[in-house]
Amino acid sequence: MQAMAGQRWTGVYTAITTKMDARQEVDLAAVRADVAFQIENGVDGIICCGSIGEASTLTADEKMAIAGAVKEAAGGRPVLLTVAEDSTRAAAALAERAAAAGMDGLMLLPAMRYVSDRRETIQHFRTVARATGLPIMVYNNPIAYSVDITPEMFAEMADEPNFVAIKESSGDIRRITDILNTVGDRYDIFTGVDDLALESLMLGAVGWVAGLVCAFPRETVAIHKLVAAGRIPEALEIYRWFMPLLHLDVSLRFVQNVKLTEAIVRGTSTVVRQPRLELQGAERDRVETIVRTALAKRPDLAKYGV
């Protein structure tokens, strides 16, 4: 069965951080400015309120306010709201609200906290899908959430027309090929691991849900475009420069790492919502050194013509 008629997602989708003021309140003006910066620099879509967006600390009302601000600033690019709730009931309710608010799609996770088995996981995804008409990107990240959505499970769920894409973040590069061998082109596959992105794109992923794109959108987009054009050696040049930065997204402190990187590169806020705290001491020094070293060696993208 093919994906939802007419719905294809490809390219670089920015998983934005949630900008906050000094009181740890959501700064919607800064969210809009953030999205405008991403769109101006060529990204193909925006995903809000994900793990990097501190979803676990946001209320449903805050998520809807953020999604609305993102939609306003996205210039017609697809906007996906992340649905990562503690219960299937709450996830379905948020999905319904997202549809009513005119979102373009959802990125859907297993239910949080409780580690579901195969039957429970599939039932969760089916229930949420049937609560909305929106197309859905299914997010698989067993490292973070202890639930693995296997290629065989994707084959079983292929009869749900709302499921159009997969964000593959298992950390196992073999999984891209296993999915394609199991379900063919039924889903658009996005890589969700920054420091496996080039490998994933070369193996058949059509998109990249990126984190360090928050600070470096042009470089992220350039890599994707070069791979799509078959210009792998040139993509590899940028990727090797980018790799120390991309490693910052694969860390328990990835939110703080990316927000600090954004602050150094763009002057945005480093404020995170507790229980997270901003980096300090040796942790902060390490990130600052990585970012400033990368900036000093930043590639001239003009020579690639993308």
- Amino acid 2: pLDDT: 40
* pLDDT per position as a tens digit, 166-194: 999 999 999 999 999 999 999 999 999 99
- Amino acid 142: pLDDT: 96
- Amino acid 6: pLDDT: 53
In whole angstroms, give the CA distance from residue 184 to residue 2: 10
Mean pLDDT of 213-228: 98
Out of 167, 187, 239, 259, the active site residue is: 167
- Amino acid 15: pLDDT: 98
Q: Is the pLDDT of residue 51 over 90?
A: yes
CA 270 from chain centre, in angstroms, equals 19
Q: Is the pLDDT of residue 1 over 90?
A: no
What SS3 state is found at 83? strand
- Amino acid 119: pLDDT: 98
Residue 5: band (very low, low, confident or very high) from pLDDT cuts 50, 70, 90: very low
Question: At 290, phi and psi to the nearest 5?
Answer: -60, -45
Structure tokens at 253: 């402190």
- Amino acid 258: pLDDT: 98
Q: Is the pLDDT of residue 4 over 80?
A: no
* pLDDT per position as a tens digit, 6-30: 568 999 999 999 999 999 999 999 9
**Contact, 110 vs 116, CB < 8 A?**
yes
Residue 145: active-site member: no
Residue 225: active-site member: no
In whole angstroms, give the CA distance from residue 105 to residue 182: 25
What stretch of H or E contains 259? helix 254-266
Q: Is the pLDDT of residue 3 over 60?
A: no
Question: At 206, phi and psi to the nearest 5?
Answer: -100, -5
Q: DSSP letters along 146-205, please?
A: S----HHHHHHGGG-TTEEEEEE-SS-THHHHHHHHHHTTSSEEEE--GGGHHHHHHHT-
What stretch of H or E contains 32? helix 28-40
* pLDDT per position as a tens digit, 127-167: 999 999 999 999 999 999 999 999 999 999 999 999 999 99
Q: Rounded to the nearest 5 degrees, what angle is found at the Cα of 242, between the Cα atoms of 239 and 247?
A: 110
In whole angstroms, give the CA distance from residue 189 to residue 208: 9
Out of 139, 145, 187, 239, the active site residue is: 139
**Contact, 195 vs 250, CB < 8 A?**
yes
- Secondary structure letter of residue 75 according to DSSP: T
Sequence-distant (6+) residues with CB within 8 A of 77 are 39, 43, 44, 45, 46
In whole angstroms, give the CA distance from residue 137 to residue 191: 12
Of all residues in the chain, what percent are helix, strand and coil, respectively (each to 5)?
50, 15, 35
Alpha-helix residue ranges (DSSP H) falling in 58-194: 60-73, 88-100, 118-129, 142-145, 151-156, 174-183
Mean pLDDT of 95-118: 97
In whole angstroms, give the CA distance from residue 53 to residue 125: 21
Sequence-distant (6+) residues with CB within 8 A of 40 are none
In whole angstroms, give the CA distance from residue 84 to residue 134: 16
- Looking at every residue in the chain, the average pLDDT score rounds to 96
In whole angstroms, give the CA distance from residue 1 to residue 239: 35
